[in-house]
Copies of this chain bind each other. A is one copy, B any other.
Amino acid sequence: MPERRDFSRDHRWLSLNTATVRKQGDLAAIIEACARLGIRAIDPWRDQVATIGLSRAAKLTRDAGLELSGYCRGGMFAADAAHRAEMRDDNRRAVDEAKALNAPCLVLVAGGLPQYSRPGSAPSKDIIAVRRQVEDALADLLDYASAAEMPLALEPLHPCYAADRACINTIAQALDICDRLDPGRTGRIGIALDVYHTWWDPQLLPQIARAGKQRLLAFHVCDWMVPTTDILNDRGMMGDGVIDIPSIRAAVEAEGFAGYAEIEIFSNTWWGRPMQEVLKTCIARHRSVV
Protein backbone atom coordinates (compact mmCIF):
# COMPACT_ATOMS: atom_id res chain seq x y z
CA MET A 1 0.00 0.00 0.00
CA PRO A 2 1.42 3.46 -0.84
CA GLU A 3 2.05 5.91 2.00
CA ARG A 4 -0.89 7.86 3.30
CA ARG A 5 -1.32 10.67 5.80
CA ASP A 6 -1.32 9.69 9.45
CA PHE A 7 -4.86 10.15 10.74
CA SER A 8 -4.27 8.34 14.03
CA ARG A 9 -3.27 11.35 16.13
CA ASP A 10 -6.07 13.82 15.48
CA HIS A 11 -9.02 14.49 13.24
CA ARG A 12 -7.89 17.58 11.41
CA TRP A 13 -8.74 15.97 8.05
CA LEU A 14 -12.21 14.84 9.03
CA SER A 15 -15.12 16.58 7.34
CA LEU A 16 -18.69 15.81 8.26
CA ASN A 17 -21.28 15.48 5.56
CA THR A 18 -24.21 16.88 7.48
CA ALA A 19 -26.68 14.29 6.15
CA THR A 20 -24.97 11.91 8.57
CA VAL A 21 -26.86 13.49 11.48
CA ARG A 22 -29.69 15.16 9.61
CA LYS A 23 -32.41 13.63 11.76
CA GLN A 24 -30.84 14.65 15.07
CA GLY A 25 -30.86 18.41 14.61
CA ASP A 26 -30.89 21.31 12.18
CA LEU A 27 -27.79 22.71 10.50
CA ALA A 28 -27.29 25.25 13.29
CA ALA A 29 -27.18 22.44 15.86
CA ILE A 30 -24.84 20.40 13.69
CA ILE A 31 -22.45 23.32 13.21
CA GLU A 32 -22.40 23.95 16.94
CA ALA A 33 -21.71 20.27 17.70
CA CYS A 34 -18.91 20.13 15.13
CA ALA A 35 -17.26 23.27 16.51
CA ARG A 36 -17.43 21.85 20.02
CA LEU A 37 -15.73 18.61 18.95
CA GLY A 38 -12.99 20.26 16.93
CA ILE A 39 -14.35 19.11 13.57
CA ARG A 40 -12.94 21.58 11.08
CA ALA A 41 -15.09 21.06 8.00
CA ILE A 42 -18.58 20.13 6.85
CA ASP A 43 -20.42 19.42 3.62
CA PRO A 44 -23.97 20.66 4.09
CA TRP A 45 -27.04 19.71 2.04
CA ARG A 46 -29.24 22.21 0.28
CA ASP A 47 -32.39 21.33 2.18
CA GLN A 48 -30.58 21.77 5.49
CA VAL A 49 -29.31 25.18 4.38
CA ALA A 50 -32.74 26.19 3.14
CA THR A 51 -34.32 25.33 6.49
CA ILE A 52 -32.21 27.80 8.44
CA GLY A 53 -31.67 30.25 5.53
CA LEU A 54 -28.65 30.72 3.28
CA SER A 55 -27.22 33.84 4.95
CA ARG A 56 -27.61 32.40 8.41
CA ALA A 57 -25.92 29.15 7.29
CA ALA A 58 -23.05 31.15 5.80
CA LYS A 59 -22.68 33.27 8.93
CA LEU A 60 -22.81 30.35 11.37
CA THR A 61 -20.27 28.42 9.33
CA ARG A 62 -17.94 31.40 9.15
CA ASP A 63 -18.33 32.29 12.84
CA ALA A 64 -17.58 28.71 13.83
CA GLY A 65 -14.42 28.77 11.73
CA LEU A 66 -15.62 25.81 9.66
CA GLU A 67 -14.44 25.13 6.14
CA LEU A 68 -16.58 23.35 3.58
CA SER A 69 -15.35 20.24 1.79
CA GLY A 70 -18.18 20.48 -0.72
CA TYR A 71 -21.82 21.44 -1.10
CA CYS A 72 -24.49 18.77 -1.64
CA ARG A 73 -25.90 18.73 -4.18
CA GLY A 74 -26.79 19.72 -7.70
CA GLY A 75 -27.67 17.48 -10.60
CA MET A 76 -30.76 15.38 -11.19
CA PHE A 77 -30.27 16.36 -14.80
CA ALA A 78 -32.64 13.94 -16.51
CA ALA A 79 -35.89 15.75 -17.23
CA ASP A 80 -38.43 15.82 -19.99
CA ALA A 81 -38.84 19.00 -22.05
CA ALA A 82 -41.46 20.39 -19.69
CA HIS A 83 -39.14 20.13 -16.69
CA ARG A 84 -35.88 21.21 -18.29
CA ALA A 85 -35.99 24.92 -17.49
CA GLU A 86 -36.86 24.18 -13.87
CA MET A 87 -33.94 21.72 -13.71
CA ARG A 88 -31.52 24.24 -15.19
CA ASP A 89 -32.57 27.07 -12.88
CA ASP A 90 -32.45 24.80 -9.86
CA ASN A 91 -28.88 23.82 -10.68
CA ARG A 92 -27.80 27.41 -11.24
CA ARG A 93 -29.18 28.31 -7.83
CA ALA A 94 -27.13 25.45 -6.37
CA VAL A 95 -23.99 27.00 -7.87
CA ASP A 96 -24.90 30.39 -6.41
CA GLU A 97 -25.50 28.88 -2.98
CA ALA A 98 -22.19 27.00 -3.10
CA LYS A 99 -20.51 30.30 -3.90
CA ALA A 100 -22.26 32.11 -1.03
CA LEU A 101 -21.12 29.38 1.35
CA ASN A 102 -17.57 29.48 0.02
CA ALA A 103 -17.63 25.79 -0.92
CA PRO A 104 -14.64 24.41 -2.82
CA CYS A 105 -16.95 22.52 -5.18
CA LEU A 106 -20.57 21.68 -5.91
CA VAL A 107 -21.19 17.94 -5.69
CA LEU A 108 -23.37 16.64 -8.52
CA VAL A 109 -25.54 13.53 -8.60
CA ALA A 110 -26.53 12.91 -12.19
CA GLY A 111 -30.06 11.68 -11.69
CA GLY A 112 -31.52 8.48 -13.02
CA LEU A 113 -34.40 8.08 -15.44
CA PRO A 114 -36.43 11.29 -15.86
CA GLN A 115 -39.51 10.02 -14.01
CA TYR A 116 -37.39 9.62 -10.84
CA SER A 117 -34.89 12.42 -11.41
CA ARG A 118 -37.52 15.13 -11.95
CA PRO A 119 -40.87 13.68 -10.84
CA GLY A 120 -43.65 14.42 -13.26
CA SER A 121 -41.36 13.92 -16.26
CA ALA A 122 -42.50 11.48 -18.92
CA PRO A 123 -41.14 8.02 -18.09
CA SER A 124 -38.35 6.44 -20.08
CA LYS A 125 -36.40 3.18 -20.00
CA ASP A 126 -33.79 4.41 -22.46
CA ILE A 127 -30.83 4.85 -20.13
CA ILE A 128 -28.48 5.42 -23.06
CA ALA A 129 -30.49 8.41 -24.28
CA VAL A 130 -30.83 9.66 -20.70
CA ARG A 131 -27.07 9.60 -20.30
CA ARG A 132 -26.68 11.79 -23.38
CA GLN A 133 -29.20 14.28 -21.95
CA VAL A 134 -27.37 14.31 -18.64
CA GLU A 135 -24.12 15.16 -20.34
CA ASP A 136 -25.73 17.97 -22.33
CA ALA A 137 -27.27 19.47 -19.19
CA LEU A 138 -23.98 19.12 -17.36
CA ALA A 139 -22.16 20.92 -20.18
CA ASP A 140 -24.64 23.76 -19.89
CA LEU A 141 -24.19 23.98 -16.12
CA LEU A 142 -20.43 23.89 -16.50
CA ASP A 143 -20.54 27.15 -18.45
CA TYR A 144 -22.49 28.80 -15.67
CA ALA A 145 -20.31 27.33 -12.91
CA SER A 146 -17.10 28.30 -14.68
CA ALA A 147 -18.24 31.92 -14.89
CA ALA A 148 -18.91 31.74 -11.14
CA GLU A 149 -15.58 30.00 -10.55
CA MET A 150 -17.30 27.08 -8.83
CA PRO A 151 -15.75 23.67 -9.62
CA LEU A 152 -18.20 20.83 -10.29
CA ALA A 153 -17.60 17.45 -8.64
CA LEU A 154 -19.50 14.73 -10.49
CA GLU A 155 -20.14 11.79 -8.18
CA PRO A 156 -20.54 8.38 -9.75
CA LEU A 157 -23.12 6.46 -7.70
CA HIS A 158 -23.30 2.73 -7.08
CA PRO A 159 -25.07 0.89 -9.91
CA CYS A 160 -27.91 0.00 -7.54
CA TYR A 161 -29.01 3.64 -7.94
CA ALA A 162 -28.84 3.70 -11.76
CA ALA A 163 -32.60 3.86 -12.22
CA ASP A 164 -33.64 6.42 -9.66
CA ARG A 165 -30.64 8.50 -8.57
CA ALA A 166 -27.72 8.49 -10.96
CA CYS A 167 -27.05 7.00 -14.36
CA ILE A 168 -23.35 7.83 -13.94
CA ASN A 169 -22.15 4.66 -12.20
CA THR A 170 -18.43 4.13 -12.66
CA ILE A 171 -15.37 6.29 -12.24
CA ALA A 172 -14.39 5.60 -15.86
CA GLN A 173 -17.76 6.82 -17.08
CA ALA A 174 -17.51 10.02 -14.99
CA LEU A 175 -13.95 10.66 -16.15
CA ASP A 176 -14.91 10.10 -19.78
CA ILE A 177 -17.45 12.89 -19.37
CA CYS A 178 -14.93 15.14 -17.61
CA ASP A 179 -12.46 14.56 -20.43
CA ARG A 180 -15.02 15.43 -23.09
CA LEU A 181 -16.20 18.60 -21.32
CA ASP A 182 -12.82 19.75 -20.06
CA PRO A 183 -10.05 18.15 -22.07
CA GLY A 184 -7.54 20.62 -20.67
CA ARG A 185 -8.07 19.39 -17.09
CA THR A 186 -8.50 22.96 -15.93
CA GLY A 187 -9.93 22.06 -12.53
CA ARG A 188 -13.40 23.29 -13.50
CA ILE A 189 -14.80 19.75 -13.33
CA GLY A 190 -13.73 16.57 -11.60
CA ILE A 191 -15.21 13.80 -9.50
CA ALA A 192 -16.30 13.17 -5.94
CA LEU A 193 -15.03 9.70 -5.10
CA ASP A 194 -17.11 7.86 -2.49
CA VAL A 195 -15.80 4.50 -1.31
CA TYR A 196 -19.39 3.24 -0.92
CA HIS A 197 -20.15 3.80 -4.59
CA THR A 198 -16.86 2.62 -6.03
CA TRP A 199 -15.21 0.00 -3.81
CA TRP A 200 -16.55 -2.89 -5.93
CA ASP A 201 -15.25 -1.50 -9.23
CA PRO A 202 -12.61 -3.73 -10.87
CA GLN A 203 -11.25 -0.51 -12.40
CA LEU A 204 -11.04 1.36 -9.08
CA LEU A 205 -7.28 1.72 -8.78
CA PRO A 206 -6.44 2.39 -12.43
CA GLN A 207 -9.24 4.94 -12.65
CA ILE A 208 -8.06 6.75 -9.51
CA ALA A 209 -4.64 6.97 -11.17
CA ARG A 210 -6.27 8.23 -14.35
CA ALA A 211 -8.21 10.89 -12.42
CA GLY A 212 -5.09 12.30 -10.81
CA LYS A 213 -5.04 15.27 -8.51
CA GLN A 214 -6.80 17.59 -10.99
CA ARG A 215 -9.92 15.45 -11.12
CA LEU A 216 -10.10 14.31 -7.48
CA LEU A 217 -12.18 17.08 -5.94
CA ALA A 218 -13.69 15.23 -2.98
CA PHE A 219 -13.25 11.95 -1.09
CA HIS A 220 -16.17 10.43 0.85
CA VAL A 221 -16.08 7.54 3.29
CA CYS A 222 -18.52 5.18 5.01
CA ASP A 223 -18.81 1.39 4.73
CA TRP A 224 -20.72 -1.35 2.91
CA MET A 225 -22.68 -3.60 5.27
CA VAL A 226 -23.33 -7.32 4.75
CA PRO A 227 -26.22 -7.82 4.63
CA THR A 228 -27.42 -4.45 3.42
CA THR A 229 -30.97 -4.29 4.73
CA ASP A 230 -32.02 -1.06 3.01
CA ILE A 231 -30.73 -0.15 -0.42
CA LEU A 232 -30.55 3.56 0.42
CA ASN A 233 -30.31 4.00 4.16
CA ASP A 234 -28.15 1.20 5.51
CA ARG A 235 -24.68 2.57 4.96
CA GLY A 236 -22.19 1.57 7.58
CA MET A 237 -19.89 3.43 9.96
CA MET A 238 -16.30 3.02 8.76
CA GLY A 239 -14.91 -0.26 10.05
CA ASP A 240 -18.27 -2.00 10.38
CA GLY A 241 -18.41 -3.27 6.80
CA VAL A 242 -16.25 -4.81 4.11
CA ILE A 243 -14.54 -1.89 2.40
CA ASP A 244 -10.76 -1.67 2.60
CA ILE A 245 -10.87 2.10 3.17
CA PRO A 246 -7.18 2.64 3.98
CA SER A 247 -6.11 1.16 0.64
CA ILE A 248 -8.48 3.41 -1.28
CA ARG A 249 -7.37 6.49 0.65
CA ALA A 250 -3.75 5.54 -0.01
CA ALA A 251 -4.45 5.35 -3.75
CA VAL A 252 -6.19 8.73 -3.72
CA GLU A 253 -3.42 10.38 -1.74
CA ALA A 254 -0.77 8.82 -3.98
CA GLU A 255 -2.23 11.06 -6.70
CA GLY A 256 -1.70 14.12 -4.54
CA PHE A 257 -5.13 14.47 -2.97
CA ALA A 258 -4.59 16.28 0.33
CA GLY A 259 -8.10 17.34 1.29
CA TYR A 260 -10.65 16.13 3.79
CA ALA A 261 -11.90 12.59 4.24
CA GLU A 262 -15.59 13.41 4.33
CA ILE A 263 -17.86 11.11 6.30
CA GLU A 264 -21.24 10.62 4.67
CA ILE A 265 -23.48 7.97 6.23
CA PHE A 266 -27.14 7.51 5.34
CA SER A 267 -28.27 5.08 7.99
CA ASN A 268 -31.50 4.45 9.81
CA THR A 269 -29.33 2.97 12.57
CA TRP A 270 -27.06 5.97 13.04
CA TRP A 271 -29.89 8.48 12.61
CA GLY A 272 -31.45 6.81 15.63
CA ARG A 273 -28.54 7.65 17.96
CA PRO A 274 -27.69 10.94 19.70
CA MET A 275 -25.71 13.40 17.58
CA GLN A 276 -22.85 13.59 20.07
CA GLU A 277 -22.45 9.80 20.09
CA VAL A 278 -22.44 9.61 16.29
CA LEU A 279 -19.87 12.39 15.94
CA LYS A 280 -17.59 10.90 18.59
CA THR A 281 -17.79 7.54 16.83
CA CYS A 282 -16.96 9.24 13.52
CA ILE A 283 -13.88 10.82 15.11
CA ALA A 284 -12.71 7.54 16.64
CA ARG A 285 -13.19 5.59 13.42
CA HIS A 286 -11.57 8.34 11.36
CA ARG A 287 -8.46 7.90 13.48
CA SER A 288 -8.49 4.10 13.56
CA VAL A 289 -9.87 2.69 10.30
CA VAL A 290 -9.88 5.40 7.62
Q: A160-B159, A244-B127 are in contact. Are A202 and B231 (CB under 8 A)?
A: no
The chain B residue sitting closest to A170, CB to CB, is B202
User: Which residues of chain B have C-beta atoms less than 8 A from A125's C-beta?
Assistant: 242-244
A-B contact pairs, 22 of them (CB 8 A): A113-B242, A116-B226, A125-B242, A126-B244, A126-B247, A127-B200, A159-B201, A160-B160, A162-B199, A162-B200, A163-B224, A163-B241, A164-B226, A164-B227, A169-B201, A169-B202, A170-B202, A172-B202, A173-B202, A227-B231, A227-B232, A229-B231
- Interface residue tally on A, bucketed by range: 35 or more
Any B CB within 8 A of the CB of A11 = no
In the complex, residue of chain B having the shortest beta-carbon distance to the beta carbon of A169:
B200
Min CB gap A122→B, angstroms: 14
CA distance A162 to B226 in the complex (A): 10
Instruction: List, in ascending order, chain B residues with CB within 8 A of A201's CB.
Output: 159, 169
The verdict on A268 contacting chain B, using a C-beta distance below 8 Å, is no
Question: With A126-B244, A200-B169, A242-B113 in contact, do A226 and B163 touch (Cβ < 8 Å)?
Answer: yes
A116 to B228 CA separation, bound complex (whole angstroms): 13
Q: Assuming the A-B contacts A169-B200, A202-B169, are A163 and B127 also in contact, with contact meaning beta carbons closer than 8 angstroms in the complex?
A: no
* Chain B residue contacts of A232, Cβ below 8 A: 227
Please determine whether B199 and A127 come into contact, CB atoms closer than 8 angstroms.
yes
The complex places the Cα of A105 from the Cα of B102 at a distance, in Å, of 58
- A94-146 interface with B by 8 A CB criterion: 113, 116, 125-128, 131
Q: Across the interface, which residues of B come within 8 angstroms of A131, CB to CB?
A: 202
In this assembly, does A235 line the interface, its C-beta being within 8 Å of a C-beta of chain B? Answer: no
Give the docked Cα–Cα distance between A231 and B173 (Å).
Answer: 24
CA distance A159 to B131 in the complex (A): 20
Q: How far is the CB of A273 from chain B (nearest CB, A)?
A: 23
Q: Per-residue 0/1 for A148-185: is the Cβ within 8 Å of any B Cβ (1 yes, 0 no)?
A: 00000000001110111001011011000000000000
